[in-house]
Amino acid sequence: MQKEFWKRAVWETFKAVFAVTVFSLAALALAAVFVRAYAPPQAAVTAVNWVVKCTGVFLFSLIFIGRERAVFKGMAAGVLSSFVTLAVFAAIGGAKPDGFFALELFVTAVLGACGALLGAKLRKR
């Protein structure tokens, strides 16, 4: 029973992290078109990046995380998605963590937990 829980927990977390990463890549690729066209200040680019990541973490934790220990799996999905998206963006364009990365980890953990908790409450399994 315990082994099945861990397999399911890892699978649910992986699906959420993968979906957040793909969503972030797609949304920020679209945002890059506007950045090239309008040249907004760096603060606006950072804000768009945060909004996309936070929206993705909340939404995909809500969708993919199951009921049992949903808060912890959502927190893990939020933190892992921050690391994975940072690694992917670093590999693509040389992005590096800014001074707010610790805050980003905290915010994505909280949003992942909230999304997973709401998803668990809305599901009837």
Amino acid letter at 54?
C
- Please identify which residue in the block is written with the tokens 């999304």: 115
Per-domain residue ranges of the chain? 2-122
pLDDT tens, the chain, 125 aa long: 688 888 999 999 999 999 999 999 999 889 888 888 888 888 888 888 899 999 999 999 999 998 888 999 999 999 999 999 988 988 887 777 777 888 999 999 999 999 999 999 998 75
Q: Give the predicted TM-score (pTM) of the model.
A: 0.88
Nearest to 77 by CA among 37, 31, 116: 116
Q: Which class for 99: exposed (0-12), middle (13-18), buried (19 or more C-beta within 10 A)? A: exposed
Alpha carbon dihedral 52, 81, 71, 2, in 10-degree steps, equals 150
> From CA 33, how far away is CA 101, in angstroms rounded?
25
